[in-house]
Amino acid sequence: MVVLSKPAPLHDHYASIKTCKPRISVFKGIPSINLRDPKAKTLIIQACQEFGFFKLLNHGVPMETIARLEAEALSFFNLPRSVKDKAGPPNPFGYGTKGIGPNGDVGWIEYLLINTDQNPAISRSAVKDYVMEVKAVAYEVAELMAEGLGIERRDVWSKMLREEESDWCLRLNHYPISQDLQALSGRKMIGFGEHTDPQIISLLKSNNTSGLQICLKDGTWVSVPPDHASFFVTVGDALQVMTNGRLKSVRHRVMTNSLKPRISMIYFGGPPLSETIRPLPSLMAKGEESLYNEFTWREYKASAYKSRLGDYRLGLFEKASTTGH
């Protein structure tokens, strides 16, 4: 049984993520969880409390489904820029390059944002098959999270993700080789700047190229070894709020690689826009106060869209009495 610690003061957590240390090491301590392990629900909660992040094994998504979409993505990104530009700009979906969001963030990246199988850039059936499989995994993981936290309604989060109006998105990223630019700058370049994911849960799949880094509780950045056979699961801001800070969204980023291009495919599972985001009463201990003001997913998404990647987006929604500011 998982022992649920009371959430730490959010200003302490905020201070830690604003002072991430530059030292980088390859981190071999990322929890690896077999989805079919009878202890999976317990291990998932432990991983999400400690890291907000874990590697998922034995997920059941056919490798041919993954390989097909990955090949489609690579074929698209290998097209001439003039052809790719016809699928953009992202408004909010479509093709983009360098610029990330509307507020000045840039990276050594090109990407395609999709939220429907009706897109002209990538095979409709490849997207549909992949999204169907990865959504099923997300639902199962969300239900194991609820079970691991002792929530009576195991579908409390999966129901939001299953809703026809759920605000999901598929992001295909391509980080080209950056050898010349790295040589000029003398350091690795940022592919995608540090941030947390706003949604409930994210499932990331990538090729066997390194670049993903996460920030640990002590503020140290560590490099996550790639694993082409597995998914990486990330706690989002909405889940942090709904657990009243027990599970924390992980700060992460992607650095470029000087030897191989990196392809990643991320499913972001969000609730319907009208969904109210607040801590679940069943998780609150007697006398425990909510650390956040209530808001809808529409409100939070709009606020996040106006921010920079590195901003602490949840700070605007914390109750003033809990921040210590």
Overall residue count recorded for the chain in this entry? 325
Q: Is 278 a catalytic residue?
A: no
State the pLDDT at residue 117: 67
What's the distance, Cα to Cα, between the start and end of the chain in Å?
Answer: 35
Model pLDDT, residue 187: 57
Q: Write out residues in the chain with pLDDT < 50, as ranges.
A: 1-3, 8-18, 183-184, 186, 322-325
Q: At 217, which amino acid appears? A: K
Q: Are strands 105-114 and 252-255 parallel, antiparallel or unpaired?
A: unpaired
- Alpha-carbon distance of 52 to 97, in angstroms, equals 28
- Express each pLDDT in 25-44 by its tens digit: 678 899 999 999 999 999 99
d(CA 228, CA 237): 26
- Asked if 193 and 280 count as a contact pair (C-beta separation under 8 A), the reply is no
Domains of the chain, start order? 33-306 (2.60.120.330)
Query: How confident is the prediction for the chain on average, in pLDDT?
Result: 89
* Alpha carbon separation from 261 to 1, 79, 83, 268, 318 (Å, rounded): 42, 15, 20, 22, 39
Global pTM value: 0.89
Q: Which of 171, 246, 262, 313 does the annotation list as catalytic? A: 262
Contact between 185 and 215 under an 8 Å Cβ cutoff? The reply is no
Cα-Cα-Cα-Cα torsion 113, 253, 204, 261, nearest 10 degrees, comes to 80
How far apart CA 240 and CA 188 sit, in angstroms, is 31
Tokens of 283: 């998780």
Q: Are strands 21-26 and 220-223 parallel, antiparallel or unpaired?
A: parallel
Work out the burial of residue 290: count CB atoms within 10 Å of its CB; fewer than 13 is exposed, 13-18 middle, 19 or more buried. Answer: middle
Residue 189 is which amino acid? M
